[in-house]
Structure 1
Amino acid sequence: MAAQVQSTESCLQLPLSLKMATKRLEPQHLVVISDGKTSSDDSSPPTTSVPDLPQDVFLLILVGLEAWDVLSCQRVSSSWRTAFSKPEYLRVMLQKYPNAREVRSLAPENLHFHASEHQPKVDWKTLFNSVAVRYKHLSKGNARKISKYPMAPLEQLGDWFPVGQWDYHESQPGGRLYYETAAIHLHKMGSKPYLFRPTLWTYDDGLLVYAPAQCIDDDGFPHILSLIDVATGDRYPIPFDIRGKIIRNIRLKDATLVVEWAEKDPFHNLNAMEQVNRHFANCFDVKKTGDDWTITWRSEWKMHFLGLPPNYHDRFFSTHNSNHYAVYFWQPNRSMYTGDEELPIESLSVWDISAPSGYQPSTDPSGKLRPPEKDGPYIVSRFSFTDMDYMGIRQHASVSLMSIDIDSDSLSLIVRENAAVAGQGYFDPAERLWCAKTTTFPFHGMGPRLVREWDGNLPPYRGHCSMESADVDDGENWFLPIMDVLDRDAHVRLSLVETCFTSQSVENRIIIRVKVEDPDGDVDGGGGGDGDGDANTARWVPLDDSLTKIVGGMGRIAGDERWIIGQNERMELVVIEF
C-alpha cells in the first residue's frame, strides 16, 4: 500500500518534495503524520511518524529532499528537529552539494554516513545551515542580506581619471558605441549600443577594494583606498598616498593589489598642445594574519618610458597575477604624415613583479638611485607594433581586443578578441553571431603561437567592464549578454544581460540571472531545482527587478556563490548576499 501523508493544521506544511518522496515508499500500513503521535482509532492501520522510520527508509526520503527542505522539516516538531538534525543524515545531504564552499574544504571521507570519530570535529549543524540557506536563496534568486558602501566622488575631486574606453569596437554592429549611462537611458535601451561608465572598485575571492566616502587618516596622510572583507564587513586602510597623484585604475588578483596612477603635474610637453604625465604602478601584498587582513607595500615601477597625456584618447589595458604584470598601450598617432602602418601606436610589455623592492622611481626622476637589474620589478619582454603584427594581435584602428591574461607557469600570454560576424542578426536578433579568437604565445624565450578561432562565446564590448567577463552562456539568443561571472569551483554562474525584444509595447531592460551548473553539463542536484520536485532541468533564476536596479545599473558585476557585487546610481557599492 502506498504511503499516505496526513498533516495537522498546527504544524508547518511539509515540502512538496517530501510528500513525493514518501509516495515512493511502500511499507505495509504506513501512515506518516506531522505531529509525531499515533492515531487512537483502533479501526485504522498502525501509524508511524517520520522520525520513527527505520534508518534505510529515512534515507530514501532524504534522497528526494533539498537542503532547505530539511530545514523546513526541522521546524515541524521537536521529534522532527531531532531526527532531521542528526549529523549522519546531514552528511548524507551535504553529499548533494559537493561544490559548495564549505563542503569543498572537507575531506571526502568526512561526508560518509558512518564517519570516523577520530576525524576532526565539525559543527555539522552550523555548516549544513549555511549551505542550505545560501542554496535556497540561489535557487529562488532572493537576497538574504543587502549591504551598501558609499563611495567617494574621486572623479569629481580630481583624484581619479579613468582610462579611456574605446568608442569603436568590432564586436558591435557598425562598430560605433556611444557615451551614455544606463541610468539615463534605461527607458530606451536597445536603440543604440552605449558604453557603461568606468567604475573604481575591484573584487577577488571575498575581498573588495574601493574608495570609501569616509577615508581613514593615518601615518600623516589619508588612506583614500580601503579593503573590505565582504564576509565580515571589516574595513582596512590601504597605504597608498594620494597626494600629488591621479588614480587611473585599481585591480586585485591573487592576493596582489596593483594601483595604476599618474602624477598630477605634467612632466614634459608632448607637443605644442599636449603635456605628458608620468605613469606608475604600485603593488601591495594582501595577507591574512589571524582574523585580520594586512596590506603591505611590495614595489613600484614606471609603466611607460615617456608617460601619457591624461585624456580619453591614449588608452592602456593591463592585467597581472602575483608574479607578472602585462600592460598594452594604444595611442593615436600624432604625426602629420600618418599612414596605415603607423596608425595607431601600439606596444605590449611584460614585467616580473615577484621580488619586493623599496625603490620608488616616482621619487627619482634622474634614475641615479636605481637598484641593479632584477632587484625588484623588471621588464621581461617588450612587443612593438611590428611584433604584435607578427603575432596577429595588433589592433590597428579596428579594435577587437577583449582581454589579456598571463600564465606564469608556461610563461605565456593569452590574448582574446571578439568581432561581430557581418550580416548576422541584422534583421533578427536571434541570429546574432560573434567570432571569439584566442591567441597564445610565450612572453619569455622562443616558441610557437597557438591561434583558436570560434573559441568560446564572449559578450560584445560595452566598456572596460566587458573585459572582465567570463565566457557567456549562449543558450538564449534573445538576451544580449553584457557580462558573466563564473565561480568555477562552485559552478555557479551570475549573468548580466539585456533583453532585445523589438515591440512597441515591450521595453528592453537589464536582467541579472543566477544558475547553478553541473561540471558535466547537467544540472547538479544542489541548488539546480526549486525544491518542488523540479530539480531535473537546468534553468536561469532571475533576480527581482528591484535588486537588479541597485546592483546592475553600471554594467558591471562581480562575486561568487555567496554574493553578487555591483554599483548603483547613487555612488554606492551594493553586496547582495545569498
Structure 2
Amino acid sequence: MPDPKIDEISTLSTPSSVPMSVPDLPEDLFLLVLKDLAAWDLVSCQRVSKSWRATCTKPEYIRLVLQHHPRTKEVRELSPGALLFRPLPGCDIDWQSILLTVASRYLSLTKGTARKVSRYPMAALEQLGDWFPVGQWDYHESQPGGRLYYETATMHLNRMGSKPFLFRPTLWSYDDGLLVYAPSQCSKDGHIRFPQILALLDIATGERCPVPFDIRSKIIRNIRLKERTMIIEWAERDPFHNLNAMEQVNRHFASCFDVHRGKDQTSWTVDWRSEWKMHFLGLPPNYHDRFFSTHTSAHYAVYFWQPNRSMYTGDEEMPIESLSVWDISTPSSYQPSADPSGRSRPPEKEGPHIVSKFSFTDMEFVGIRQHASIALMSLHLDSESLSLTVRENIAVAGQGYFDPAERLWCAKTTTFPFLGQGPRLYREWDGGLPPYRGHCTMESADIEDGEKWFLPVMDVVDAEAGVRLSLVETCISGMNVQNQFVIRMKTETGGIVRGQKEEDCELEWVTLAGGLTKEVAAMGRIAGDERWLIGQNERMEIVVLKF
C-alpha cells in the first residue's frame, strides 16, 4: 500500500506545480511576515508587482504595520481603536497616504538624509540697526576656566579677532510647527527690500502671515514663540534720559500677541494682546546690560543682570540683579510706550501686571543669585503650579581642562514658587546640560552621555515621538586636525520594528549628511521635531530639512 505522505511530497515537488509568491500565502502566515516589517518595507513591497501591490495596499495590512510606529504624529492623532485589524465602522481614513508619510519620514531619519530642503532668506536687521541682540556672557562657569574667548597663540595669529567658542545670536523662534522671523523680500527689479514687519511661517505649508508689529522707530532685542503666544522684546530707538555722563538709557517694552487659526482653519492669524514696560528705568543699548526671559500663555518672567556703575564698587564684584514675574493673561489695549507720563494708565491688575518681584537679596536667599560667577543656563515657568525653575551649569574643576574626554559638568536645578509661599527644591547633578556657547545653548534640552570625543552644543527632543536631534562638535587635538560640527539623530522606532519592547531598545545614532549639517549648524542653533530640522546657514537663510 503506497504511503500517502510520500505521494504528497512528490506532488509538491513536481515541475508542474505553480510557484507560490508571498502575497499568496495563507493570511495567518502572511500576518507573521508583516509583523517584522517597517513602514518603508511595506512601501517597497507595493512596488514589486501588481499582485504584491494589491495585497500590500489593503487597509487592514497597513494598519497592522502602522502599529509598529505608535509614536509618530499621524498615528498619535488617530482616534482610539482606529488601528485595529478590523476597525470600528465609520472609520474613513486614507491609510495609504499615512503609510507613505510615515515611511518616507522615518526612512530619512534612519538614513541621515532629508526628503526636502527649504530655504528662507532673512532680512539683515542687525546691519540696518533694527535689531540689537542681548549681549552674551564673556565668562561662564560651564567653560574650563570660564573663558569663552580663550585661544592659543597660534590660533590667535591665524584668526585675528575671532571668537571660536561663542555663536552669534539669531533672530528667529520656533514652536510646534510655527516659526517667527524677519523675512527679506525681493521687488520686481530684483533688489532686496526689507519689510517693516516680522512674519509667522507655517513650516508644513510654507505659508506666511504678517505680525502686526511695526519695527520703525524701534530696536528689536529678542523674539520668542511659545504656547501659541508670541512676545517681542524691544527698545525705543531714541534715548529717554541720561544714566550718567557717559551713557544714555532707552526704554524697553514687551509686546504680546496671540497666534491662532484663521476662520478657514487652514491659515494662521496673529492678534495683538497687550504691551508692558519691562524695566522701570530702561537699559542702555549695549552688550553689558543683559536680560533673559521666558513665558507661557499666562505668565512672563524676566531676569536682569547689570554691571554696578558705582565708583565705590567694582563692576564685576557686585552686579545689579533682579527677577520679576508678570501676569499677562488679560488682554489690554493700553500701550505704555505711547504714554510716557503714565496718565492714561489703567487701574492696577487690569492688563499685564507684576505678581512677584525678587531683589538681589531675595535671589540670594533662594540661591539663584549669579554675582560675577555666571552659571545661568535657562529659566522655566509653570503656570499651573505657579513655580519658576532656574537651571545652572558648572564645570567640575580639573575635569576636562587638558583632556576633553575627561570633561564633566554639574547641572543644578532650583525650583521655587513665584506666587505665595512654599519650599524650595534644589537638586545637584540634575540631568545633563551642554556648556554655554551663547544664547542658543540656553534653549537646549538635556543632553545624553555621548561619546568622549564629541562636545555637545545643543539638543532638541521630541519626547512624544521619541526622536532626538543633537548638534555636537568634534574635539580631537592634533596637527592639521580641524574640528567640525556634526548633527546626529536618534529614533526609537527602529527597535520597536524588530519586535522588541520599547524599554529594551538599544538606540543607535545616525549622522546627518555632511552637506546638510553645514546648512543648519552655522549659528549653533537647531530646532524642530520628528518632521523637520531647522537651522541657519552663513548666508542669512533659515534652512528647513523635511524628513
Normalising by structure 2, we get a TM-score of: 0.91
Could you give the per-residue CA deviations for residues 20-54 of structure 1, whole angstroms, max 9, x where no partner exists?
xxxxxxxx98xxxxxxxxx9x94376521111111
Could you give the per-residue CA deviations for residues 327-353 of structure 1, whole angstroms, max 9, x where no partner exists?
000000000011699710000000000
Does the alignment pair 1:566 with 2:535?
yes
Could you give the per-residue CA deviations for residues 240-266 of structure 1, whole angstroms, max 9, x where no partner exists?
011210000000000000000000000
Which residue number in structure 2 is paired with residue 272 of structure 1? 245
Could you give the per-residue CA deviations for residues 159-191 of structure 1, whole angstroms, max 9, x where no partner exists?
0000000010000001011299xxx99x99xx9
- The question of whether the paired residues in 2 share the 8 Å contact of 1:195 and 1:462 is answered with yes
Superposition pairs of residues 219-238 of structure 1, within 5 angstroms: 223-238=196-211
Aligned residue identity for 2:175: D
Give the Cα separation in 1 of the matches to 2:335 and 2:546: 40
Which residue number in structure 2 is paired with residue 132 of structure 1? 103
Give the Cα separation in 1 of the matches to 2:320 and 2:53: 69
Give 1:536 deviation, angstroms. 6.0
Which residue number in structure 1 is paired with residue 33 of structure 2? 61
Give the Cα separation in 2 of the matches to 1:451 and 1:201: 32
With over 3 angstroms needed to count, the CA separation of the structure-2 counterparts of 1:165 and 1:528, relative to structure 1, is farther
- The question of whether the paired residues in 1 share the 8 Å contact of 2:172 and 2:223 is answered with yes
Aligned residue identity for 1:539: E
Superposition pairs of residues 67-216 of structure 1, within 5 angstroms: 67-118=39-90, 120-178=91-149, 194-214=165-185
Could you give the per-residue CA deviations for residues 178-218 of structure 1, whole angstroms, max 9, x where no partner exists?
299xxx99x99xx98511000000000000100001299xx
- The question of whether the paired residues in 2 share the 8 Å contact of 1:567 and 1:573 is answered with yes
Give the Cα separation in 1 of the matches to 2:104 and 2:239: 54
Choose which of 377, 383, 386 in structure 2 pairs with 1:402: 377
Where 1:258 maps in the other structure, the secondary structure is: strand
Superposition pairs of residues 355-366 of structure 1, within 5 angstroms: 355-366=330-341
Which residue number in structure 1 is paired with residue 522 of structure 2? 553
With over 3 angstroms needed to count, the CA separation of the structure-2 counterparts of 1:458 and 1:44, relative to structure 1, is farther
Which residue number in structure 1 is paired with residue 229 of structure 2? 256
Which residue number in structure 2 is paired with residue 577 of structure 1? 546
Give the Cα separation in 1 of the matches to 2:509 and 2:498: 11
Give the Cα separation in 2 of the matches to 1:223 and 1:83: 56
- The question of whether the paired residues in 1 share the 8 Å contact of 2:119 and 2:543 is answered with yes
Superposition pairs of residues 128-527 of structure 1, within 5 angstroms: 128-178=99-149, 194-214=165-185, 223-289=196-262, 290-338=265-313, 343-517=318-492, 524-525=495-496
Aligned residue identity for 2:310: S
Aligned residue identity for 1:275: Q
Aligned residue identity for 1:499: T
- The question of whether the paired residues in 2 share the 8 Å contact of 1:147 and 1:574 is answered with yes
Give the Cα separation in 2 of the matches to 1:527 and 1:512: 25
- The question of whether the paired residues in 1 share the 8 Å contact of 2:445 and 2:460 is answered with yes
Choose which of 15, 22, 45 in structure 2 pairs with 1:50: 22
Give the Cα separation in 2 of the matches to 1:559 and 1:438: 25
With over 3 angstroms needed to count, the CA separation of the structure-2 counterparts of 1:504 and 1:149, relative to structure 1, is same
Aligned residue identity for 1:349: S
Where 1:393 maps in the other structure, the secondary structure is: coil
Could you give the per-residue CA deviations for residues 472-524 of structure 1, whole angstroms, max 9, x where no partner exists?
11132221000000011111100000011122253211001110137xxxx64
Where 2:81 maps in the other structure, the secondary structure is: helix
Aligned residue identity for 2:481: V
The number of residues matched between the two structures is 521
- The question of whether the paired residues in 1 share the 8 Å contact of 2:185 and 2:195 is answered with no
Could you give the per-residue CA deviations for residues 435-478 of structure 1, whole angstroms, max 9, x where no partner exists?
00000000001111000000000000000000000001113222
Give 1:313 deviation, angstroms. 0.2
Could you give the per-residue CA deviations for residues 377-414 of structure 1, whole angstroms, max 9, x where no partner exists?
00010000110010100000010000000000110000
Give 1:222 deviation, angstroms. 5.3
Give the Cα separation in 1 of the matches to 2:163 and 2:407: 15
Aligned residue identity for 1:334: R
* 5+ long unaligned stretches in structure 2: 1-7, 188-193
User: Runs of 4 or more off by more than 4 Å in structure 1?
Assistant: 339-342, 526-529
Aligned residue identity for 1:80: W
With over 3 angstroms needed to count, the CA separation of the structure-2 counterparts of 1:364 and 1:528, relative to structure 1, is farther
With over 3 angstroms needed to count, the CA separation of the structure-2 counterparts of 1:70 and 1:124, relative to structure 1, is same
Give the Cα separation in 2 of the matches to 1:379 and 1:526: 51
Where 1:174 maps in the other structure, the secondary structure is: helix
Fraction of identical pairs, as percent:
70
Aligned residue identity for 1:158: G
Give 1:317 deviation, angstroms. 0.4
Give the Cα separation in 1 of the matches to 2:534 and 2:497: 23
- The question of whether the paired residues in 2 share the 8 Å contact of 1:259 and 1:283 is answered with yes
- The question of whether the paired residues in 2 share the 8 Å contact of 1:344 and 1:396 is answered with yes
Give 1:223 deviation, angstroms. 4.2
- C-alpha RMSD of matched pairs (Å): 2.4
Aligned residue identity for 2:30: F
Give the Cα separation in 2 of the matches to 1:264 and 1:506: 46
* 5+ long unaligned stretches in structure 1: 1-27, 30-38, 530-534
- The question of whether the paired residues in 2 share the 8 Å contact of 1:172 and 1:193 is answered with no
Give the Cα separation in 1 of the matches to 2:529 and 2:498: 14
With over 3 angstroms needed to count, the CA separation of the structure-2 counterparts of 1:359 and 1:192, relative to structure 1, is closer
Where 1:525 maps in the other structure, the secondary structure is: helix
Which residue number in structure 1 is paired with residue 5 of structure 2? none
Give 1:62 deviation, angstroms. 1.1
Where 2:471 maps in the other structure, the secondary structure is: strand
Could you give the per-residue CA deviations for residues 54-73 of structure 1, whole angstroms, max 9, x where no partner exists?
11111111122211111111
Aligned residue identity for 1:90: I
Give the Cα separation in 2 of the matches to 1:440 and 1:67: 43
